[in-house]
Every structure is written in structure tokens, then in C-alpha cells.
A and B are shown apart, each in its own frame.
Chain A
Amino acid sequence: MLDDFFTRALIGGIGVALVAGPLGCFIVWRRMAYFGDTMAHSALLGVALAFLFDIHITLGVFAITATVAFALVLLQRQVALPTDALLGILSHSTLALGLVLVAFMAWLRIDLLSYLFGDLLAVSRFDIALIYGGGAAVLGILALIWRPLLAGTVSEELAAAEALHPERTRLAFMVLMAAVIAIAMKIVGILLITSLLVIPAATARRFAGGPERMALLAAGFGALAVALGLFGSLQFDTPSGPSVVVAALLLFLGGLLPLALNRSGGRRGGGREGAR
């Protein structure tokens, strides 16, 4: 069945979504959406460098996004600029650098759009192996560092005081993010990766009573968005990556509906219930 390009796209996309959901929860909790965006934007530079040095694209992207993440951590310590300004500088300058570098390599004929917006329908068997192998590794490491990472997300100080080494887990988390960006790029593209991380997690928040449940739900919503988006893309002949993101958005908006209905009594009522 893997012979069918649509099946491959579906399996690959769902694989990415299953990994992106739990990781995306931390991006939402830690307010790192823009940070993730910056890492993703630098991916094009990774693509260009991968062609330049003739290494595998996924590897090049992973190396560059991880480097940008660590550079940002260092800059945050050294430079007296607010983080969002630093992110703005890094995000767009790495994207621009990537575009310029690609233009310089005149011998290179690449489909820029497929990198920027993804080419879900060109997912190969090797890509699927990469997504599931890398994804399993990412989820395994995430499970291992789950408690200290969550504690550090609630309070770095608390985690440090109780000997959970939050800086270590934070760096590990950035490496995981770089890995997910590298394997997800093919599916949704550089410009849309963050949406697959953030939107399902945000959708899951409404329905989750605990962080673990939110992570599972985010994975589920992400997979659902991929499936809906791909079928929609096939049905309406729309580009696959953006279709997936639109599907995720529709799920998010759908998730808001019950909240809007209960808004007046729902949330406060929950508190009273707990206080009984």
C-alpha cells in the first residue's frame, strides 16, 4: 500500500503530527512559539548548506536549527536586547541568508516552494522510515526528560532547587525541537512547521485536565488535522501543507465552540466544584 503516494503522505504526515503534538505542548507552555518559528526559518539555510556540502538535507537542517537555538541561548545571556528582538533578527536573517545562498548556487535547481510550504505528496519510503525512526527517538527522549522538563516549565528555579537540572533538560528539549523541525519540514514546509506544533496543542488545552492528557490529545488532533487536510487537498486540489494547517485551524476553532457556549457559567463553576 506504500506504493500509493497518497498513503505515504498520510502515514508520513500522521507520524509527524504524533511527535509534533506533545512537543508543541511544551512550546505553548514555555511561550516558545516564536522561538520555534525562528528555528524553522533557519531551516532553509540548512537546506542550502546541505546542498553546498553534499550532506543529507535532514541532517543539514537539524544541524542548522540546533545551532540557531544554541546561538539564541548564548545571545540571550550576552546581549542586552529583548528576546523577541533577537528572535526577529535571527528568524528573518537566517531565512534571507538561506534564500541568498540558494540563489548563489546557480547550478542548483531546487523547488523553493516545496521547502517553504512542504511537499507532502513527494514523501518517499525513506522519508517515512526517517519520520518514524526519528519520531520514536524524539518521543522516547521526551518521555525520559518529561518530569524535569515539566517541572522546569512550571518554574526553572523550583526545578533547580530540587536538583532536576533544568538547563540540561531545556537544551535537550531544543535538540528535540531541531529534530522535529528537520523531519517535519518535508511535510508542511519551513513556514508552516510551527503551526503543526502549536495549533493542535492549543486545541488540546480546552479538553485536557492534565499536562500528559494534553500531550496525547495534541498528538491526536494533529493526526486528525493531517488526515482531514490531505483528504481536503485531494478533494479540492489545494496544496497539501497549507491544507493541513487549515484543517488544524478548523479543529481549533471547533474546539472553541463549547467554551463559547459555557463561557458564562462553565469556568467559574469548575472552580466551585473543585472547592466543594
Chain B
Amino acid sequence: MSLTASNETPGQTVPQPAAAPAAPLIEVRGLGVQRGGRWLVRGVDLAIRPGEIVTLIGPNGSGKSTTVRALLGILEPSAGEVIRRPGLNIGYVPQRLTIDWTMPLTVRRLMTLTGRHGAAEIRAALQEVGIEHLAEAPVQQLSGGEFQRALLARAIIRRPALLVLDEPVQGVDFAGEIALYQLIHDIRERLGCGILMISHDLHIVMGQTDTVVCLNGHVCCSGTPQVVTESPEYRALFGAQAASALAIYRHHHDHVHLEDGRVVRTADGGRVVPEHDHDHGSCGQDHDHGHSHGQGQGSGGDAG
């Protein structure tokens, strides 16, 4: 288990895997940030290990961005400690970055904003996110999705050990969102980096994340998506939204695949046939809805 909540209850823990997990890239213990006499967040424990996707969710003002900023060293924490692996190389995609028109900046120049990179590296990074044709375009003319991809390329060109994404799908339409999350997932596979992400898209988060941390001024609950969605704290916090996220999350389960490849729809989310069910909680990082529906036609599994 990579993450512990300070108010952990026995029901929320996940069994320790047999192999010892890699040492965390970055870890915060008892993190608290106080501003103007008020605690924005308090008592946050979390760790990100190589190859792991950790997603922070929580209502507005729950301290998600504050936690990430403290973790990155942008904010000075008022309590607790941040332990970084020495020489940790971080790639960051900040929230709501707008580049003023007064700054002439092409996508190509954006790639070398915080470090020196050669033309071949730049081409490779842009290819990786699928916008190599936009290299000479001024960043102000990109669409929301293209800009987020450019920012992602800028972050991964550094070959970061830790990629931090603060709401990476902002200003992106729904279809673009899915593609972008898939891209982030692929980047993890290719770079083997740890990823810390803030997201509002509960349903997508649940599909693409190893660990979910639900924040509301403190860690409400955390663990695999399965554990979190079933925790009462999460349901109390997100209410109807949680229920709908769960419904979308589970809509992939409204059928089961029989041995011969036939698809059988089930009324109650497929949970009646556990041996054929996808267990999101445990299949973790290999999980990919697309592949599991490959043989069943009209699976309806692709959102969008």
C-alpha cells in the first residue's frame, strides 16, 4: 500500500503486496498548510512511487491544489514534512496556465522553457502527445486540448521521474478528455514515472488510477478506486455525484463475457457473476476497458 490516510480505518486498507514496494519518489507526512489562521489542509499523508498513478479528488476548496503546491515546494508547509528522493526530476502541468499575447512563444520554444533540449528531443516529445504538426504555432492560438497536450509534452520532455498534473483536462471537450487521460496513462507506461494528478472527473479517475485520495481539508479516505468508492466518507462527500460516477464507472459492467465470447447483459451491474467480472480494485494499473471488450461486439464500453 502506497498511501495511508491519517484517519485510517481497518476497512480502508489494502493488503500489502508480496513484493516490497519501491521507495516513494516523494512523500508527505502530516502535511498542513495554514493561511490567515485557517488550515487549508491538515494531516495529509501521501506517497507516490515509481510507475504509480495517484489521483487527488475532493470538492472545491478541499485543499487539492494546496497539497500539490506544498508537495512541489511552491508553498511552504506550516506543518509536517515533505520527503523527496534526492535529485528528483519533476515535470509539472500547472492549473489554468494562460500565456499572454504579449509573449511571442511557439510550441517549440515552450518545450525549452525550463531546460535545454535538442531538436530531436522536442520532435519526439511533440510526437508522443500527437501535436508535432503544431511545433511552429504560437501557443496562444492552440485549442484547449492542444494546449494541454503541449504542456504535457513540455513536462515529459524533461523525462521526469514524477509527473504532476493539476487538472490536466481543463478546457478540453469530453472526447478530448478521454483521449488525454489515455495519453497520461500511456506516458506512465512509457516513462515509468510516478504520476500525481488532481482531477474532477470522478468516473475517469476511477478507471485510470492506482490510488485515489479523497481530500476535504484532510484525507477523507484513500486507497484503490474500489475501496474509495465504497467508503462512506466518499459517498457522504460527493453525494449524488458519487453515485453517478459510480454508475458510469460500473456501466462497463452491465454485461459479462462468457467463455465463448458471447456478451450477456446483466441487470445489476454484472456483480452476480464474480468470476467474469472485472475487479477494478485489484487489476489496478493494467486495467484498460478497451481491451476487455475487444471480443464482445457492441459492448458500449467506450464512453463518448
Contacts and interface: CB of A to CB of B under 8 A. Distances in A.
Interface of A: 28-29, 31, 147-148, 150-151, 153-155, 157-164, 202, 205, 208-211, 213-214, 270-271, 274-276
A40 to B, nearest CB: 20
B141 interface: yes
Contacts of A160: 72-74
Given A161-B72, A161-B92, A211 B104 contact: yes
The 7 closest A-B pairs by CB, nearest first: A274-B137, A161-B92, A271-B141, A161-B72, A160-B74, A162-B114, A208-B104
Interface residues of B, number: 28
Max chain B C-beta neighbours (<10 A), residue from A29, A157, A163, A164: A157
Given A158-B97, A274-B134, A274-B138, A210 B114 contact: no
Given A270-B141, A271-B138, A274-B134, A157 B69 contact: yes
B136 A157 contact: no
Q: Is the interface of A mostly helix, strand, loop or mixed?
A: helix
B103 A159 contact: no
A155 B114 CA distance: 11
A155 B105 CA distance: 13
Contacts of A274: 134, 136-138, 141
B96 to A, nearest CB: 10
Contacts, number: 81
A164 B105 contact: no
Contact of A210 (B74, B94, B105, B141): B105
Interface string B123-147: 0000000000110111001000000
A205 B104 contact: yes
B63 interface: no
Contacts of A205: 102, 104
Interface in B70-106: 72-74, 90-92, 94, 97, 99-100, 102-106
A29 B98 CA distance: 12
Contact of B102 (A29, A161, A271): A29
Nearest to B158: A162
11 contacts: A151-B113, A151-B114, A157-B69, A157-B74, A158-B94, A158-B114, A162-B158, A163-B73, A205-B104, A209-B104, A210-B106
A24 to B, nearest CB: 11
A31 B102 CA distance: 9
B103 A161 contact: no
A159 B72 CA distance: 11
Contacts of B106: 209-210
Given A205-B102, A211-B103, A211-B109, A159 B141 contact: no
